[in-house]
Structure 1
């Protein structure tokens, strides 16, 4: 399933998930061999790859030194909206719930490990090693990612200085457009396309002539970007292989 189709499906899924109620599991979709999630403890970042292209690269909180996030190859086994936090007896949907409002359970044996959001007000934890072993995303990012992930999607948890493209290629995942194992920052490139994201998020989407691209805003102020307008975005590759905005013109 390509990303444009997923976008439509994601809108429908988000509507459906909003009606499932506390602790309800989403319907089980078929596994998607073209999808891959990579979580890199070296950078504290997560990448979602669809059909050979990186669609999201976002910061994550990971396990503390005594409760490290388990390195390995796993799969997504469950998708739950408003999962209760059983240990703390906190109901799903409660703003104090440290799991946020979306849970992607992983096949790690011997414990409940997953990709999830955070309690309201705990946004500052993202990007740090503070969890009990789970992978913690911003709630806004988790809501965006959740509809696109299928049951059975492979999840690689690594600790590596390599780019996401190289990690994917090393694990026999077909990376479209991948040409080099170089992990140093390359020269800038220009992407021309329509702004289709949200200017207040850590990253946004650009619809080019051939596909969607995800760009991280970096330190650039993007509040003047208008939805649906076409811009020229000058980007460079970040240390994890993501597009990082340098500047833009209309």
Structure 2
């Protein structure tokens, strides 16, 4: 390796370090993007990302689909959410999904996007967990709110599905079936997805 080639290679490594990502073949990892994050007056704590399996870290992957860029595809078996990008790529996020009896699938669209959303537990959930009745009128957004830092509201031809793509303070639920049907992401990931996804975007849950 001559001096010029060495300098170019060193510069590439430095650039990747500064942007918090690493590249492995066709995969670009963002494992360094889970530090303490200040957002809208809140300070999200750092995620101990080393405790989360690497496959669930945010990353750009090769992904062949006939769906248009901007489409969101959720694979509940794999516990992955794909945001379709041009040129056969997708941003992939690890997710938590509905536990047994709360699974769902279908096609919807993002009708609303909310930052630090209010959470209102459904009547059926209050019936199962009476202690949630105090939030019947809505739990204000915040660090302990179950919807986390962002929520994308899913509607279909019949209106509100009741399901959301949202953040969660329970980072250790990623990769598991633990929710009441909604698709949950690490807060740092839902902030990233929120910045990419547009109102009206197609969402396919497999």
Which category of TM-score, normalised to the shorter sequence, fits these structures?
0.5 to 0.7
Contact 1:65 1:129 in 2 (8 A): yes
Is 1:84 the counterpart of 2:133 in the alignment?
no
Alignment root-mean-square deviation, CA: 2.2
Contact 1:79 1:104 in 2 (8 A): yes
Correspondence for 1:107? 155
Contact 1:115 1:136 in 2 (8 A): yes
Q: Distance in 2 between matches of 1:53 and 1:18?
A: 34
Contact 2:85 2:91 in 1 (8 A): no
Greater fraction of residues in helix: 2
Is 1:145 the counterpart of 2:193 in the alignment?
yes
- Structure 2: stretches of 5+ with no match in the other structure: 1-38, 42-67, 122-134
Structure 2 counterpart SS, 1:65: coil
* Equivalent pairs, count: 126
- CA deviation string 1:93-120 (max 9, x = no partner): x21101001001111556421100013x
Q: Distance in 2 between matches of 1:48 and 1:61?
A: 16
Is 1:118 the counterpart of 2:171 in the alignment?
no
Q: Distance in 2 between matches of 1:77 and 1:149?
A: 11
Q: Distance in 1 between matches of 2:76 and 2:69?
A: 23
* Structure-2-length-normalised TM-score: 0.56
Structure 1 counterpart SS, 2:110: strand
Correspondence for 2:100? 65
Correspondence for 2:72? 37
Contact 1:47 1:54 in 2 (8 A): no
Residue 151 to residue 52, structure 1, CA distance change in 2 (3 Å): farther
Contact 1:90 1:96 in 2 (8 A): no
**What does residue range 215-230 of structure 1 map to in structure 2 within 5 Å?**
none
Is 1:47 the counterpart of 2:95 in the alignment?
no
Runs of 4+ in 1 over 6 A off after TM superposition: none
- Structure 1: stretches of 5+ with no match in the other structure: 1-16, 20-32, 159-250
Residue 34 to residue 111, structure 1, CA distance change in 2 (3 Å): closer
